[in-house]
Structure 1
Amino acid sequence: MAELDSRTALVTGGTSGIGLAVVRRFVAEGAHVVVTGRNQGKLDAVKAELGDAVTPVRGDISSLDDLDAVFGVIAKRGAGLDIVFANAGGGEFAALEDVTWKHFTDTFEANVGGTVFTVQKALPLLNPGASIVLTGSNIDVKGSPSFSVYAASKAAIRSFARSWAAELVGRGVRVNSIAPGPIATPGLSGLAAEPSQAEALLGNLAAGVPMQRLGTPEEIAEAVLYLASPRSSFVTGAELYVDGGASQI
């Protein structure tokens, strides 16, 4: 029997990178996965790959109307939610003197606001024993030049995991966060100012990891599966660092 047989999961930002790897892993373990993303073409590609095991719903987590539509689809399925992987978000470099109000609000609306209201709107649909996993980052305990707003948004995610774990423990709902280091995804390459600089950026990031390489989305997916599954039944309020030792050594 697969680990997630008969379970229903929501993965936000599930059309590429870590999110897509988690969708694939959950499906392989028997879950039905509701997948969100902003790009309809990418959602269609996920559906074409995984078929009836997924329900794609276009939506931006920074839009309350879009979130209402997503959870309307989930409610209509009638199976509730056993797993919420609140993964959508992003960021970009900006030195302190270059931070604009738009840069700040865009980052916090997606990473912080989007996570808050994704989880809030999921609450009425959570089944007993549900697991919530938030995507943080190992940058929440590190200093990183020109990445301060993003880092602060991920520190908020760590705080949410602790507070919501305490708040929801009485319902039998677990809340944990995953803290990846640099992972080989299109989003990471996209942080380079120019496409020609992407290789150098990735090389510099890998050099800062004790294991001397970038992680893969599939490695993060294995860690998310652990937190989402009954294997972590006595784990809540935790942050799991999957970063090749970058935050620990």
Structure 2
Amino acid sequence: MTTLNGTELKAHDTLVVGGTGNVGYFLVDGFLRAGARVLVPSRSQANLDRLRSRLGPAAAQRLVPVLGDIGTADGAARIQARVGELTGELYAVAAAPASWHQTASMLQAGFADFKHVIETRLYPHYLAAEALLPLIATAGSYTTINGPAGFISPPPPGIGAIAVAAAAQNKLIEAIAAETAGRPRVNDVVMKAFLGPRGTRPGSPLTGEQVGDYLAALAANGTGVHNRTLQLHDPRQVDQALSGTFA
């Protein structure tokens, strides 16, 4: 199995939105293993401290915590300003601010629950892109992490709200990609992996490390990949990505 060699993103500044989460940890880890310095915004100092501890002292030397809330318009503007102070230019951003949501029934859960899912799973993707795209090098990349719920037809009743958010996220990223015209590259990765607070869950088609490898390889090697919805579900795709192929 091929893996990162530590030079793919060496000397580059990168950023992971949602980097203290279950998926985000592996994106931070992948960028670090590719040689990058990684900025991670979070509302919680405790979560940033936990991330630093989980990564270990050697990797954490290239971790730059940014305290703030990118999930609000004011917070995103403050993070934009702070990131601008910390780096001359970002080369890659990976955004995984959303988490899973499931109820017995979307309709029975009611409008307040649906509104909460849209506001907390979809809006942060717009706010992050609005704040961070201006800081990315024209040759760099912006990648969002999506889940398969938005691509199931029809979605089961209990995942209706998150399916709507995921489908809307995909169209949002396509619209943003059309506006950047590839400078920087913008893509949506639909990831089929089961990742929890203790790492990869049993039965997952991909390990968290493989997800990190793929995202780092996309940032470093995917120079012609733009405005794509990339369905990541097979370890063979990771090997191909590390050699510069994104099917």
| TM-score, with structure 1 as normaliser | 0.80
Amino acid at match of 2:156: S
Q: How far off is 1:214 after superposition?
A: 4.5
Question: 177, 180, 184: which one pairs with 2:191?
Answer: 180
| Structure 1 CA distance for aligned equivalents of residues 156 and 41 of structure 2 | 30
Q: Does 1:31 align with 2:36?
A: yes
Question: 76, 88, 101: which one pairs with 1:79?
Answer: 88
| Structure 2 CA distance for aligned equivalents of residues 161 and 227 of structure 1 | 16
| SS at 1:132 equivalent | strand
| Cα gap change, 1:225 to 1:188, in 2 (>3 Å) | closer
Partner residue, 1:220? 211
List runs of 5+ in structure 1 lacking aligned partners.
190-201, 207-212
Matches within 5 A, 1:10-29: 10-29=15-34
| SS at 2:189 equivalent | strand
| SS at 1:9 equivalent | strand
Matches within 5 A, 1:225-236: 225-229=216-220, 231-236=221-226
Partner residue, 1:210? none
Partner residue, 1:149? 161
| Structure 1 CA distance for aligned equivalents of residues 10 and 101 of structure 2 | 37
| Structure 2 CA distance for aligned equivalents of residues 13 and 242 of structure 1 | 19
| Cα gap change, 1:103 to 1:183, in 2 (>3 Å) | same
| SS at 2:118 equivalent | helix
Alpha-carbon deviations, 1:57-100, whole Å to 9, x = none? Answer: 23333222322232222111242211111111123212123233
Deviating more after overlay: 11-20 vs 213-222: 213-222
| Structure 2 CA distance for aligned equivalents of residues 89 and 188 of structure 1 | 17
Q: Does 1:117 align with 2:107?
A: no
Alpha-carbon deviations, 1:122-141, whole Å to 9, x = none? Answer: 13212121200011112221
| TM-score, with structure 2 as normaliser | 0.81
- Contact 1:4 1:26 survives alignment (8 Å): yes
Q: How far off is 1:243 after superposition?
A: 2.8
Question: 44, 49, 62: which one pairs with 2:71?
Answer: 62
Amino acid at match of 2:223: S
Deviating more after overlay: 231-240 vs 51-60: 51-60
| SS at 2:175 equivalent | helix
Partner residue, 1:209? none
| Structure 2 CA distance for aligned equivalents of residues 110 and 100 of structure 1 | 16
| SS at 2:181 equivalent | helix
Partner residue, 2:113? 103
Amino acid at match of 1:129: A
Deviating more after overlay: 78-87 vs 180-189: 180-189
How many residue pairs match? The answer is 223
Percent of matched pairs sharing the same residue: 23
The list of structure 1 runs, each at least 4 consecutive aligned residues, that deviate by more than 4 angstroms after superposition, is: none
Q: Does 1:88 align with 2:97?
A: yes
Q: How far off is 1:23 after superposition?
A: 0.6
